[in-house]
Amino acid sequence: MNRGWMAMMVACGLVSAVCAGQQVLPLWPEGKTPLKTSDAPEKVNPSKDDIVRLTDVNVPSLTLYLAKDTGKPNPAVMICPGGGYNILAWNHEGTEVAEWLNSQGISACVLKYRVPGNRDAAFCDAQRAMGLIRSKSQDLNIDPKRLGIMGFSAGAHLSVRTSTNFEKRYYEAVDAADAQPSRPDFALVIYPAYLFREGYTLAPELPVTAQVPPTFLLQAEDDGPYVDSSLAYAIALKAVKVPVELHIFPNGGHGYGLRKKGKTTDVWPELAAAWLARITK
């Protein structure tokens, strides 16, 4: 069975998380999910490109990919797949990235946040997930002070929103996990969407301060209307002296994940791995 179909079956509940070798953590206690709008069953949209596109996600969760035990707590990254806040590109911007992070000695937690069309609910899910991971860090052998976030496209917007809004929760606390910090210790923002307005000003939901975590930014010049997202965010981070590494490539488009396309963006995983090695040492 190929990796795409296995990921789809796990996502649909057709194969248990134990069978797939991964642990799945529900985000919210039963009856405590804020901004709940639907009980529609989760589904996978048809695909011919080996991308598993989840939609109608109403029960958010974390799927854990834990790195090998080295005798001390591992750094970890929470992954936010993209999909325009309408679907989640579950495998090529989620589980495949988790496996790649494991190869770098980094644990990964893939966030299944709510879609479609509920950005504030997705933000609640991301804030909650960061606190939940930290609350379980000892059991998961994760260093709670080396917990980053990584997002693609809309998931990159969600990662930036989580990186810039950490002073308080967007929802009423439900348990002790919500007392844990939601601020990531570092962020990888991969071909982000929706970050800017005209004149390279950031979207109003993204208040940049000097407390924003160090950030790795990546985009291609031919990424349609989105390339200015990386430029605007880098300018804002530089203005408040937040460390930022920015890579703008001549070509590559949008939505490539880790998959090679014969474009200049193909080298980005090596650049990100080097940055991660420095930031998590």
What pairs with residue 24 in β-bridges?
63
In angstroms, the CA 191 to CA 256 distance is 9
What pLDDT score does 94 carry?
98
**Domain 23-279 is classified in which CATH homologous superfamily?**
Alpha/Beta hydrolase fold, catalytic domain (3.40.50.1820)
Q: What are phi and psi of 42, to 5 degrees?
A: -65, 145
Burial class (CB in 10 A: 0-12, 13-18, 19+), 248: middle
Is cis: bond before 116, omega within 30 of 0?
A: yes
CA–CA gap between residue 137 and residue 191 (Å, rounded): 29
Domain boundaries, the chain: 23-279
Please tell me the pTM assigned to this model.
0.93
- Is residue 33 a contact partner of residue 122, using CB atoms and an 8 Å limit? no
pLDDT at residue 14, as a whole number:
35
Element (H, E) at 278: helix 268-279
Per-residue pLDDT of the chain (281 residues; tens, 9 = 90+): 344 444 444 444 433 333 356 899 999 999 999 999 889 999 999 888 999 999 999 999 999 999 999 999 999 999 999 999 999 999 999 999 999 999 999 999 999 999 999 999 999 999 999 999 999 999 999 999 999 999 999 999 999 999 999 999 999 999 999 999 999 999 999 999 999 988 788 999 999 999 999 999 999 999 998 999 999 999 999 999 999 999 999 999 999 999 999 999 999 999 999 999 999 99
DSSP tag of 67: P
DSSP 214: P
Q: Cα–Cα distance between 131 and 144 in angstroms, integer? A: 9
